[in-house]
Amino acid sequence: MTKTRVLAALIMAPLAIGGVLFLPTPWLVVFAAVLFLLALWEWLRLADVEDTLARTILLACNLALMVALVWGSRSAHGGSFALFQLVIVIGVGWWVLALLWLKHYHFASDHDSHARAFKLLAGTLAVVPAWCALAVIHASEPDGHYWLLLALMLVWAADTGAYFTGRTFGGKWFGGRKLAPRISPNKTIEGLLGGIVLAMLVALAGASLIGVDTAHLPAVAGVAAVTVAFSVIGDLYESLLKRHVDIKDSGHLIPGHGGVLDRVDSVLAALPVFALGKVWFGF
């Protein structure tokens, strides 16, 4: 399984990096829509929507929302990202509420229509703003493709830093307290801090290579730290959904990695926060 996992990662990483760096924004947005909608398809399963027709209709509704956002952003002067930016703000607000949901573990944990409705809304609020954020970051001038790659690298660095810090120092600094023991027992506070620190270092190095002036580097580091914190919320929230339905992986599309949602859960929460921070601080 480990060899399969590594091989899949060696294939996926270059494809993701190449797409971000070399595809024009419209094409990248199309491919990202396909990827995120695949993740949403798996999300619908976690929301107890088992009927294929019902899932297809719900997926089509979210696709229609994406198309409507693109259509509504057109103008005689080439278009505006104002609608996309509004959706990004809504997405960040959703992930703040998701933190409260994580605290109240049993909220919507049953399988009735009300629980399903909450989780269906959550799926749209997670996927569509992340897609909008990807578009806004990549289209930003100058060097939007580098900024999007850096945003993704923050998530990857956080995962790496959390893994090694957690294995080395987990349970030693905070009296054995876990980050979210009922949701993800293996995650430690030490791992979270290690992931944030490594991501901040990557952010500073990446921003310097992009050419950010020194005055903006503290803002970049701060946005990176908050981005990673939200990426953990995204990961924990998907774990919560899986625990509610008692499954290990959201799907089996990626050998050794589970489903698409298992790979992008952190990214869904990270991208809107990074995009908002980038616009807010102007770097």
Q: Can you give the pTM of this predicted structure?
A: 0.93
Contacts with 184 (C-beta within 8 Å, 6 or more apart), sequence order: 235, 236, 239
Domain membership of residue 107 as a residue range: 2-281
pLDDT score at 106:
85
Please give, one letter per residue, the 3-state secondary structure of 115-154.
HHHHHHHHHHHHHHHHHHHHHHHHHCCCCHHHHHHHHHHH
What pLDDT digit, counting tens, does each position of 5-38 carry? 556 667 778 888 999 999 999 999 999 999 999 9
pLDDT score at 113:
76
pLDDT score at 257:
55
Residue 185 has pLDDT above 90, yes or no: no
pLDDT band at 1 (very low <50, low <70, confident <90, very high): very low
CB atoms under 10 Å from CB of 144, counted, come to 17
Count of structural domains within the chain: 1
pLDDT band at 176 (very low <50, low <70, confident <90, very high): confident
What pLDDT digit, counting tens, does each position of 98-129 carry? 999 999 888 888 877 788 899 999 999 999 99
Residue 273 has pLDDT above 80, yes or no: yes
Residue 239 has pLDDT above 90, yes or no: yes
Residue with tokens 């290690």: 194
Residue 250 has pLDDT above 50, yes or no: yes
Closest CA to 134 of 63, 230, 208, 35: 35
The pLDDT of 242-266, averaged and rounded, is: 80
Residue 138 has pLDDT above 80, yes or no: yes
The pLDDT of 86-94, averaged and rounded, is: 97
What pLDDT digit, counting tens, does each position of 212-236 carry? 999 999 999 999 999 999 999 999 9
**Cα 24 from Cα 49, distance rounded (Å):** 35
Residue 3 has pLDDT above 60, yes or no: no
* Residue 185, H or E segment: strand 184-188
Contacts 24+ apart (CB under 8 A), 118-121: 119/43, 119/46, 119/47, 119/48, 119/241, 120/44, 120/47, 120/49, 120/58
SS3 16: helix
185 is written with which tokens?
Answer: 């027992």
**Cα 163 from Cα 85, distance rounded (Å):** 33
What pLDDT digit, counting tens, does each position of 40-61 carry? 999 999 998 989 999 999 999 9
Average pLDDT of the chain to the nearest whole number: 90
Residue 2 has pLDDT above 60, yes or no: no
pLDDT band at 172 (very low <50, low <70, confident <90, very high): confident
H helices of 47-139, in order, are 52-72, 82-103, 113-139
CB atoms under 10 Å from CB of 81, counted, come to 18
The pLDDT of 161-173, averaged and rounded, is: 86
